[in-house]
Structure 1
């Protein structure tokens, strides 16, 4: 299946809009894992296996692996997800942004080396920096639009043609850039009003929404702003609040509980709103 097809299937199969972010920080690992050669893989594998019943997707952040010289662990982890939890798509959070032959190499890295189902990209350099990713049939390309960090407003709110830049990105993504049908957008949970603006522009296009959990994004406001007519349309990401829900040897069990609670909180809101809309 393509990325979008697998995402739709995962929404239904797991009854979840939760995306579990995988940002391993060895200094925060339980004592029993610290200083072990395979610690990063072992930690992430345990998290994945514990939270898979509650997740519509996983999102490993490449910097957390590369900075620890753990790219091989990232390859191994994505292979594990595909083999043990087939049908749950993997988003490589890389935020790449370059043109021409360099973008082609980043696309190969994401889809051929790591075998990710989708990758996050930066649109600042325009369509020719995104096009090489679209050449990989069935793979998802998730474009930064309205990011969850406070500094995103420095550029994303600049007026261009009578509307903020992030809205221009959304319009381009929905109209001109989405020839493959596999484009999505990143819109932060810390800005629910902007989520609603983007949803109005892009229709049913999936949105990756970081910022719930440690960054303080509100679940009810996020779901209300971003849900589609059928109550889906979102990958609501939580990373640290799930990964480090516990710091003891039962860390995976604690992560499972946190993921279940987050999934249930999201479902409570979207079910209630769905009934209210009828």
Structure 2
């Protein structure tokens, strides 16, 4: 999917919502545990109920790896279902990979070719040669961790390196990478006050913003400081939507939560005009 395709979907659906599929067998409705593949059954129901309200889905790969081969099969079925039935959705493998060049090339092949995701999250700590293998794929996107929403983000990301905060160095240096036009960045909603300075460095790049909802991030603050003329935001909500209910009507409850966010996003998009 191209960036322009994504922008068109945002305006068509009046939404820049990304739904995180952090599917945990300990949290999904108990009646689904009798299904042959409870993870996929849960994901399918959530997707069918919310696809018209969002523009992206983000499976967190750890929640699938934790269940071994069955988890990987559920992930494969989920991405295949999305690509077949809802090809307009931007898909994000929240894998946080990043290794030496030849290893990154294998990761890129796995997620972009075999699983056919549109994008993947990458930890940039190992630098240029760990990122560029992902950037070499046409119409695929690499989402670098820049300033995350967790408490430990302050351990390193905001420390000064040569007079500049480390996350700013990540942003600046990454712009020099071959294929940098395919870069996006993770910036946590709980760090909304940093968005103005981030936009000075990457004024046009899309930002994947987790932390709205269960983690307490403010959508209005994110939009105030981070939205561009072409929107430039994918705001993620995971637990706040997919675990809105643990009953048999869980998909309807998820739809209602997604609709609440979509309506807020529509208001922000109307203000953009």
TM-score range, shorter chain: over 0.9
Q: In the alignment, what sits opposite 2:191? A: 191
Q: In the alignment, what sits opposite 2:12? A: 13
What is the SS of the residue equivalent to 1:32? Answer: helix
Q: Is the 8 A contact 2:132 2:179 kept in 1?
A: no
Work out the CA distance in 2 between the residues paired with 1:196 and 1:25.
35
Q: Is the 8 A contact 1:155 1:165 kept in 2?
A: yes
Q: In the alignment, what sits opposite 1:211? A: 211
Q: In the alignment, what sits opposite 2:64? A: 65
What is the SS of the residue equivalent to 2:103? Answer: helix
**Inter-CA distance 224–237: structure 2 relative to 1 (3 Å threshold):** same
Render the CA deviation track for 1:42-64: whole Å, top value 9, x for unaligned: 10011011111110111001010
Displacement of 1:180 after TM fit?
Answer: 4.9
Displacement of 1:13 after TM fit?
Answer: 2.1
Q: Is the 8 A contact 2:136 2:179 kept in 1?
A: no
**Inter-CA distance 67–35: structure 2 relative to 1 (3 Å threshold):** farther
Q: Is the 8 A contact 1:6 1:88 kept in 2?
A: no
Work out the CA distance in 2 between the residues paired with 1:44 and 1:84.
13
Aligned residue runs from structure 1 range 243-254, under 5 A: 243-254=242-253
Q: In the alignment, what sits opposite 2:260? A: 261
What is the SS of the residue equivalent to 1:33? Answer: helix
What is the SS of the residue equivalent to 1:229? Answer: coil
Q: Is the 8 A contact 2:10 2:55 kept in 1?
A: yes
Unaligned runs of 5+ in 2: none
Work out the CA distance in 2 between the residues paired with 1:9 and 1:127.
31
Displacement of 1:161 after TM fit?
Answer: 2.5
Q: Is the 8 A contact 1:9 1:87 kept in 2?
A: no
Q: In the alignment, what sits opposite 2:48? A: 49
Aligned residue runs from structure 1 range 1-278, under 5 A: 1-2=1-2, 4-69=3-68, 70-173=71-174, 175-177=175-177, 179-230=179-230, 232-272=231-271, 274=272
Displacement of 1:10 after TM fit?
Answer: 1.7
4+ residue stretches of structure 1 with deviation over 6 A? none
Displacement of 1:187 after TM fit?
Answer: 0.3
Q: What TM-score comes out, normalization by structure 2 length?
A: 0.95
Displacement of 1:270 after TM fit?
Answer: 4.2
Displacement of 1:85 after TM fit?
Answer: 0.9
Over the aligned positions, Cα root-mean-square deviation in angstroms equals: 1.4
**Inter-CA distance 245–178: structure 2 relative to 1 (3 Å threshold):** farther
What is the SS of the residue equivalent to 1:90? Answer: strand
Displacement of 1:103 after TM fit?
Answer: 0.8
Give the length in aligned residue pairs.
Answer: 271
Work out the CA distance in 2 between the residues paired with 1:86 and 1:179.
24
Work out the CA distance in 2 between the residues paired with 1:99 and 1:8.
32
Q: What TM-score comes out, normalization by structure 1 length?
A: 0.94
